[in-house]
Amino acid sequence: MLPIHPESPEHTTNSVSFPVPSINTMVQTRSASSTAVPRLSPPPPSPTKRRVSNRSASNTPAPTSAPAAATEVEVTKPLAALRGGSSSSTTSSSSPAILSHTPSTLALAWLAISLPLVAWDTGYIMLRPHSMPGGSWHAPIWVPYALYGQVDYVYGRERWEAGDGFCGAQGTMNIVESLMYLAYLWIWYSNKTATGASGSGAASTRGAVTGRSAGLAMLIMFSACVMTVSKTVLYWLNESWSGFHGIGHNSARDLVALWIIPNGAWIIFPTYLIYAYGREILDSMAPSTHRATEKLE
């Protein structure tokens, strides 16, 4: 090994030299390292969102007034359904069906039978004692009440002389009830039409009442039937709570034939009419309600 002398020029010339980077090289290296950002892979697409490319987005035409019209149609559909109407694909052609009502054959038959009988009964009650046996107006109109007064003491002379007011109160309610039935018939007869209606009974040859008049007629008929049933049930309950003082003296045969059957008719038929008219009113307000309920069940 040769001795190395620091003072000798050979040491400076033959020594190992390391490259020293220049200032420009260091700046370029730093700038390159700062700009080279590692690329991350895109996140996986969401299962609930669709990826729209720039190409498809650029080809999409500008929105016009058509979406607004479609939105308007979608909003009007449930409104038309609640009114009982039908909606089409355009707003201009969608129009609710006209509410219509035609009295059923059973309703007209019941009114044709019950109204004269109730008027006959009310006349007897209001004209007592002249309409009772021995009175000047008893014959010939109210002769059958001589028998009925012996079956039901409420209609007899004994209760009249005792000042029993239940029979008179019943007769007063008979007048209100009959006026409601007559109002129903008058609304239907004076406003009925054979065309331009859809709904229950629209195809009937006897004609249908439409619009607001149809709703008013159904409401009056429904209320009158409720009054009839309530009044008759109250009459029966009055006998029960009084110990059957008015009818307890009858045999079972006479009680069934002369009291239960005649009075029971004023419970059975009006109760059915309450159901029929109540269902018709409900369907006219929300025609799809019962169908949706049946599907859920």
Comparing 207 with 181, the larger pLDDT belongs to: 181
The answer on pLDDT for 8 being more than 50 is no
Residue 285: what pLDDT? 86
The answer to whether the Cα torsion of 21, 25, 26, 30 is positive or negative is negative
Contacts of 131 (CB under 8 A, 6+ apart): 123, 124, 137, 138, 141, 142, 145
Q: Where are the alpha helices (DSSP H) in 39-92?
A: 54-59, 66-82
**Which tokens belong to 61?**
């035409």
Hey, CA dihedral for 179, 217, 232, 262, is it positive or negative?
Answer: positive
pLDDT in tens, 217-264: 999 999 999 999 999 999 999 999 999 999 999 999 999 999 999 999
SS3 104: coil
Reported confidence tier of residue 39, pLDDT bands at 50, 70, 90: low
Structure confidence at residue 70 (pLDDT):
45
Confidence check: pLDDT of 182 > 70: yes
pLDDT at 42: 57
Question: pTM, whole model, 2 decimals?
Answer: 0.64
Name 86's bridge partners: 95
pLDDT of residue 204: 59
